[in-house]
Structure 1
């Protein structure tokens, strides 16, 4: 496997960062995860995953402008790095190769 580790939850968060590149922020990622998974997700888990992946070099962050609607606070936006994209590509290859090993099974459907 790769020298860079990526857990299942981190992979989902990183996929959403890539899908919303440069427009991805904590709450948007949270809402997308909850929609895709069909269950509640802890916003702190999203922020911890983002911080961990930033430390690993998989994502970069930047701050948006100050807005009144956010009480003067700025959004922190995330974008995927070339290392992050490489790790996602490797994950995709591994998962796809394993999935393709599944024999054709009929369950009478």
Structure 2
């Protein structure tokens, strides 16, 4: 049986941002991208909640980075997309593209097709 991946809209957004950050994603960096580049107001606790849900589903993995004085000796938890996460993103993309292809042209003011 084919495995189906289910992502909520916010989970998908967080997972996409993790994928764009090429193994350097952590809570604050993800929050900044969502706020600054996507123009969406979000708090870091909701980003962390989504990251932990994605980790439970096997879509991301995390490791602790090095400690820094700037962070008071604390270490960042760095997230990276897994192969299951890549599959989930590809499936979400295919579903969206399929649905977009089914919208008649007149819906957005174009000619009817």
Partners in 1 of 2:22 and 2:76 — Cα distance?
14
Q: Secondary structure at the match of 1:102?
A: coil
- After the TM superposition, which residues 1-109 of structure 1 pair with which residues of structure 2 at under 5 Å, given as runs? 3-105=4-106, 107=109
Deviation at 1:37, TM superposition (A): 3.2
Check whether the contact 1:17–1:80 (CA below 8 A) recurs between aligned residues. yes
Deviation at 1:21, TM superposition (A): 2.3
Partners in 1 of 2:40 and 2:25 — Cα distance?
20
Question: CA offsets, 1:73-105, max 9 Å, x none?
Answer: 011100000000001000000000100111223
Q: Which runs of 5+ in 2 are unaligned?
A: none
Deviation at 1:2, TM superposition (A): 5.4
Number of aligned positions between the proteins: 108
Q: Which runs of 5+ in 1 are unaligned?
A: none
Give the 4+ runs in structure 1 shifted more than 6 A: none
